[in-house]
Structure 1
């Protein structure tokens, strides 16, 4: 808790992660991180099945590593700097698309799909509106309306409206129509 944080807003320890997660695009960052891992790992990793070694090494391994590390960095940026979530989301989608030709079809399509979903979620995420503190009042919450305030409110509501006239009123070139322009009929 900092000196600027009021004591009344202290969050219980069991809810701190939930509050932290809800104030940033958490799932977008997680999907982006998960998308960067297979894109960065697959060109360098190998799998052993008994005596057989399967390797997916490509000539563009450095490009795949760069894309994977950038996606992991963008996922962390979404978590720790949520103000740049739109930029991070767009960059994630672009890097996911670039990973298709560079990194074994985008990390065997798994990393590509995670990157697209994470980037889209980051762009679509918006912070919740701030919660306003309710002012405690002693009455039941409904204001009492006096005759004087009702008359004033009625005068304010009808001040900008045109007067209602009967059918004998004819429009002239000086008559202003309801949209604020001059009516040329007459």
Structure 2
């Protein structure tokens, strides 16, 4: 093995771990909220230099801007590490973004306001993925995959996929022949060969 392949494998491992971590929480909501706090904090304390002239942006709302910005950064980190409180954090981020408009230089010159409001909205709309359910184990005397009431253990029998478009078989009639381009898998389902 070469050193290059080991490094590639390590990078792939960490990339997949980050992908799993990011997928289990409102990552983008936290990122936008956290990024929205930066301009709100920065602009009231920034000094612009135009040649020999210094323009100070500081206003009486400097302390308010600092508090709002720090709270937005805290909410962004909270969305990442405590996704259970994402609804509260999203509502608080939107309210702080709105408060930043009159308090801190029009919400960090609208940039901080837009990022924070977008992050709060994404936090409100995010929902965790539903875990895959394990198949039910049949008891003695029951055929596998069928509940005593009929259908499957998940509820009434449903037809989906390619089988949903097959014509129904009426008792006493021969079933229609399937095209040659379909195959039958181990569970009896038909799939198009392709």
TM-score range, shorter chain: 0.5 to 0.7
Please list the CA deviations of residues 49-96 of structure 1 after superposition, one character each: whole Å capped at 9, or x if unmatched.
Answer: 332222211111000100000000000000011000000000000000
Give the Cα–Cα distance (whole angstroms) in 2 for the partners of residues 74 and 47 of structure 1: 29
Distance between the aligned counterparts of 1:88 and 1:144, measured in 2?
Answer: 43
Partner of 2:43: 42
Q: Which consecutive unaligned segments of at least 5 residues does structure 1 have? A: 1-11, 136-141, 158-186
Flag structure 2 segments of 5+ consecutive residues without an equivalent.
1-12, 137-142, 157-194
How far did residue 133 of structure 1 move? 4.8
Q: How many residues are matched?
A: 135
User: Measured at CA, do residues 153 and 27 of structure 1 come closer, stay the same or move farther in structure 2, by a change above 3 Å?
Assistant: closer
TM-score by length of 1: 0.65
Offset of 1:134 from its aligned partner? 6.1
Moved over 3 A (4+): 132-135, 142-145
Given the superposition, is the C-alpha separation of residues 133 and 95 from structure 1 closer, same or farther in structure 2, using an over 3 Å criterion?
same
Match of 1:24, SS? coil
Q: Does 1:74 align with 2:78?
A: no
Report whether the alignment pairs 1:32 with 2:33. Answer: yes
Separation in 1, partners of 2:49, 2:135: 63
Counterpart of 2:116? 115
**Cross-structure match for 2:171:** none
